[in-house]
Structure 1
Amino acid sequence: MTRSQVFGEVAEIYDAARPGYADALAAEVLAYADPGGRTAVEVGAGTGKATVAFAALGASVVCIEPDPRMAGVLRRNTSRYPGVRVHGGSFEEWRPGGRRFGLLFAATSWHWVDPVRRWDLVRDALVPGGAVALFWNPQGVRDTRVHTALAEVDRRHGIDRSPHSEPASSYGDVPGNWARQPGWPEEECRRDGRFTDLRAVRYRQEQHYDTGRYLGYLASLSRYRVLPPDRRERVLADTAHVLDAHGGGIEMDAFSDLFLARTR
Structure 2
Amino acid sequence: MTSEEHRDTRRMVFGGVAEAYDAGRSGYAEPMAAEVLAYADLGDRGAVEVGAGTGKATVPFAARGVPLVCVEPDARMAEVLRRNTAGHPNVRIEVGDFEQWQPGGRRHGLLFAASAWNWLDRERRWDLVHAALAPGGATALIFGPHGIHDAGLRAALADIGARHGVKSSPHRFLARDLSGGEPGSWDQRWPEAECRRDGRFTELRSVRFGRDLRYGTERYLRHLNSLSAYRVLPAESRARALDEIGRLLDAHGGGIDVHQVTDIFLARAR
Same fold, TM exceeding 0.5? Answer: yes
CA distance in 1, matches of 2:185, 2:248: 27
Deviation for aligned residue 1:150 = 1.1
CA distance in 2, matches of 1:151, 1:229: 19
Deviations 1:106-146 (A, max 9, x none): 00001111010000011111111100000110000011121
AA aligned to 1:11 is A
Deviation for aligned residue 1:182 = 3.3
Task: Give 1:13's match in structure 2, choosing from 20, 26, 33.
Answer: 20
Paired residues, what number? 262
Runs of 4+ in structure 1 deviating by more than 4 angstroms, as ranges, are none
CA distance in 1, matches of 2:18, 2:229: 15
Secondary structure, aligned partner of 1:2 = helix
Q: Please report the RMSD computed on the Cα atoms of aligned residues, expressed in angstroms.
A: 1.0
Q: Which runs of 5+ in 1 are unaligned?
A: none
Match in the other structure for 2:188? 182
Match in the other structure for 2:269? 263
Secondary structure, aligned partner of 1:218 = helix
Between 223-232 and 133-142, report the one with greater CA deviation. Answer: 223-232
Match in the other structure for 2:5? none
Match in the other structure for 1:226? 232
CA distance in 2, matches of 1:22, 1:170: 18
Query: Structure 2 length as normaliser, TM-score?
Result: 0.95
Task: Give 2:249's match in structure 1, choosing from 237, 240, 243.
Answer: 243
Secondary structure, aligned partner of 1:191 = helix
Match in the other structure for 2:203? 197
Deviation for aligned residue 1:170 = 1.7
Match in the other structure for 2:68? 61
CA distance in 1, matches of 2:45, 2:203: 20
Q: Which runs of 5+ in 2 are unaligned?
A: 1-7
The alignment-based identity, stated in percent, is 60
Query: Structure 1 length as normaliser, TM-score?
Result: 0.97
CA distance in 2, matches of 1:132, 1:2: 26
CA distance in 2, matches of 1:72, 1:182: 33
> Does residue 223 of structure 2 align to residue 217 of structure 1?
yes
CA distance in 1, matches of 2:159, 2:232: 20
